[in-house]
């Protein structure tokens, strides 16, 4: 978590850094700070607790100048969200300032060592050791002889990062070298933006996309030294590395709120397009299959797959769970789904023909990345289904598919989920066709997929009626979401959306599991959202709804059929259009997202930045 940005150019650094921080705020938002090298040649720091606007107020009151600076927005891991613990951090002399995203696992040992040498620490953070270590190396006797401060600083950073265990993306300023920022990365993302007479370094491209689309993704164990118009990338051992400049295609308009009250609502409403972007150009009707060249698998490879392991976290995991149903049903390949955080530590059984699929919107989630690495180490072929192009997971996989949902800024994932499921459907068709699925079935689903954006739009067009239903339940304290078969993961996702943005205690269950325990909680105040689209299991779902109604629980049913029993048993019914059975998990997710959104808004919650969360979970 945490977001960092550095700027060096001709303009005043502070406003550019603040603007960049605002775009990184989704990565953490409990405190923020900036350091510039001011016109007097000294490092000046401003920090504040809370969101970036609070820091902005401080800077308005106590301005900082200078054309070079680094900045940070924090999601606390070590030490509370206090002013002192906010970044940037400095060493003993104030000569060196750093910002850090990640976790230094051996910080306690390093700190003790540095304290024994007489260094004083003022924060509870793990990051402060980085500033002290760089300063110590920079000022040490051996190095003092060198009269080239830049060479000394580069060596000091290199010596420091080699001592750090854990994950980090850092940016470093030193007031002896007022035209340079040094960055380094291991395990946390860091990307360089090459502008006109300006250079940026940041946790992700959102931070500087208004200024440049020319980027270089740093890899683990790399250091970069930037000036206003040059950069040099090296390994931690200081061997030069040549890197390709890539051109990004995101537009600034895609990042703004475009008139919506919240990013979350904007992203929910973008789903006709984002789902279309996930399948466009990937369906070959003539051959009745999907084209997923990025997987780099031959038909022989696909025929040889004897098991698929899907691993991910949170919403991406739920998308994987939906994928299990469709892949197994169409292709006959057994699929297991596991939390990445469990997968990585449970000694997963990986055989030569096991295919591992990782799913991640950000492509930076620490647990998913670790699961990927574990799977690769065990010899698996690992594929990534990611949204963020060039992200670490995307780059470390053997192959993969981008979901092309566009930037997702709201902390609660919405459009990424429906795009991930869309890609899972294409993947299922692709694998299944190689393994004997009929042309007709494949084409039937693909044709239905082409019409799905219209069905999504019609749910969105009815959002005022979903809002009215949601507002009736604004005072709910506890909620269940229940569904069967491929609606079960959608129930989990509906519950996750509601709990994370409205703070209502919400849990998802397979509907039949209710009677094995959860139903004990049902009373007049308890809300159950039943996911009951038409299916061979509809009668069983109605029986489950009846069990809740008999215990006087409140029921909101989401369905795509007009059914008298459902209407009689439910307090409210949300009716959505009927689509192909394989696509129902996607369409059913939309009213879940809107329901959670409108309840959270009615409860006056911070929808885009819910408490205790961050968009990109780059810590374990």
Q: Where along the sequence are the contacts to ligand F6R (CB under 6 A)?
A: 313-316, 360-362, 365, 368, 412-413, 496, 500, 617
Residue 166 phi/psi, 5-degree rounding, is 120, -145
Structure tokens at 308: 């698929």
Nearer to ligand F6R, 333 or 405 (CB): 405
615 is catalytic: yes
Would you tell me how many other CB atoms lie within 10 Å of the CB of residue 577?
Answer: 15
Nearer to ligand F6R, 412 or 587 (CB): 412
Q: How far apart are the first and last CA of the chain?
A: 10
- Name the closest residue to ligand F6R (Cβ): 314
**Edge-to-edge strands of the sheet including 191-195?**
43-49, 31-37, 68-74, 3-8, 198-202, 191-195, 214-217, 246-247
The residues, any chain, with a CB within 8 Å of residue 471's CB and separated by 6 or more, are 598, 599, 602
- Dist CA 92 CA 95 (whole Å): 8
Structure tokens at 305: 């797959």
Q: How far is the CB of 501 from ligand F6R (least distance, A)?
A: 8
- Dist CA 114 CA 134 (whole Å): 11
Q: Report helix, strand or coil for 399.
A: strand
- Dist CA 386 CA 392 (whole Å): 10
Q: How far is the CB of 523 from ligand F6R (least distance, A)?
A: 28
Q: How far is the CB of 306 from ligand F6R (least distance, A)?
A: 27
Q: Report helix, strand or coil for 382.
A: strand
Structure tokens at 494: 């509906």
Nearer to ligand F6R, 330 or 589 (CB): 589
DSSP 519: G
Nearer to ligand F6R, 203 or 212 (CB): 203
Number of C-alpha atoms within 13 angstroms, CB side, residue 572?
Answer: 17
Beta bridge partners of 167: 103
Active-site annotation holder among 2, 174, 269, 313: 2
Greatest alpha-carbon span in the chain? 87
Nearer to ligand F6R, 415 or 433 (CB): 415
Residue 389 phi/psi, 5-degree rounding, is -70, 135
Helix (H) or strand (E) holding 266: helix 263-269
2 is catalytic: yes
Q: How far is the CB of 424 from ligand F6R (least distance, A)?
A: 14
Closest CA to 406 of 283, 249, 258: 249
Quick one: angle between helices 439-461 and 584-602, nearest 10?
20
Q: How far is the CB of 602 from ligand F6R (least distance, A)?
A: 19
Nearer to ligand F6R, 340 or 527 (CB): 340
Active-site annotation holder among 324, 499, 584, 615: 615
| 307-312 and 354-360 beta bridge pairing | parallel
Decide if 486 contacts 584 (C-beta within 8 A): yes
- Dist CA 136 CA 152 (whole Å): 11
Which active-site residues does the annotation give? 2, 615
């Amino acid at each position: 978590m945490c977001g960092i940005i550095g700027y060096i150019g001709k303009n005043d650094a502070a406003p550019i850094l603040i603007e960049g921080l605002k775009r990184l705020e989704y990565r953490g938002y409990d405190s923020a700070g900036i350091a510039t090298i001011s016109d007097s040649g000294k490092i000046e720091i401003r920090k504040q607790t809370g969101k970036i606007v609070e820091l902005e107020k401080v800077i308005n009151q106590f301005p900082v100048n200078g054309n070079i600076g680094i900045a940070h927005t924090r999601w606390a891991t070590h030490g509370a969200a206090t002013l002192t613990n906010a970044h940037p951090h400095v060493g003993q002399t104030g000569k060196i300032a750093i910002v850090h995203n990640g976790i230094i696992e051996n910080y306690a040992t390093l700190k003790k060592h540095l304290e024994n040498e007489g260094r004083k620490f003022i924060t509870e953070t793990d990051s402060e050791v980085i500033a002290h270590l760089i300063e110590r190396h920079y000022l040490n006797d051996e190095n003092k002889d060198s009269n080239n401060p830049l060479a000394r600083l580069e060596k000091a950073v290199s010596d420091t990062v080699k001592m750090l265990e854990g994950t980090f993306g850092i940016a470093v300023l030193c007031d002896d070298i007022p035209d340079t920022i040094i960055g380094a990365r291991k395990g946390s993302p860091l990307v360089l933006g090459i502008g006109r007479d300006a250079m940026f370094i940041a946790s992700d491209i959102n931070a500087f996309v208004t200024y440049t689309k020319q980027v270089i993704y740093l890899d683990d164990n790399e250091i970069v030294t930037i000036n206003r118009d040059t950069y040099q990338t090296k390994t931690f051992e200081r061997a030069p590395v040549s890197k390709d400049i890539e051109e990004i295609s995101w537009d600034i308009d895609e990042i703004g709120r475009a008139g919506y009250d919240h990013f979350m609502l904007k992203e929910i409403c973008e789903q006709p397009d984002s789902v279309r972007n996930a399948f466009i150009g990937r369906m070959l009707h003539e051959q009745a299959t999907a084209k997923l060249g990025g997987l780099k698998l031959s038909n022989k490879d696909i025929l040889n797959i004897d098991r698929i392991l899907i691993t991910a976290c949170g919403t991406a995991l739920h998308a994987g769970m939906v994928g299990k149903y469709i892949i197994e049903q169409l292709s006959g390949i057994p699929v297991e789904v596991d939390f990445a955080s469990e997968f990585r530590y449970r000694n997963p059984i990986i055989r030569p023909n096991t295919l591992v699929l990782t799913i991640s919107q950000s492509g930076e989630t620490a647990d998913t990345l670790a699961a990927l690495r574990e799977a690769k180490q065990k010899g698996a072929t690992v594929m990534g289904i990611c949204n963020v192009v060039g992200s670490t997971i995307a780059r470390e996989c053997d192959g993969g598919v981008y979901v092309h949902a566009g930037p997702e800024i709201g902390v609660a994932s919405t459009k990424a989920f429906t795009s991930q499921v869309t890609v899972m459907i294409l993947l299922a068709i692709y694998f299944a066709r190689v393994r004997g699925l009929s042309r007709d079935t494949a084409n039937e689903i693909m044709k239905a997929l082409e019409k799905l954006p219209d069905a999504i739009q019609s749910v969105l067009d009815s959002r005022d009626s979903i809002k009215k239903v949601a507002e009736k339940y604004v005072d709910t304290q506890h909620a269940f979401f229940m569904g069967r078969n491929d609606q079960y993961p959608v129930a989990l996702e509906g519950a996750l959306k509601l709990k994370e943005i409205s703070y209502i205690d919400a849990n998802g269950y397979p509907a039949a599991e209710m009677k094995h325990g959860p139903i004990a909680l049902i009373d007049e105040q308890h809300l159950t959202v039943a996911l009951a689209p038409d299916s061979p299991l509809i009668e069983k779902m109605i029986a489950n709804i009846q069990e809740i109604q008999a215990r006087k629980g409140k029921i909101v049913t989401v369905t795509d059929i007009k059914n008298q029993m459902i209407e009689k048993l439910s307090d409210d019914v949300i009716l959505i259009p009927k689509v192909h059975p394989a696509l129902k998990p996607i369409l059913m997710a939309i009213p879940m997202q809107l329901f959670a959104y409108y309840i959270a808004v009615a409860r006056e919650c911070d929808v885009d930045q819910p408490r205790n969360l961050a968009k990109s979970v780059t810590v374990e």
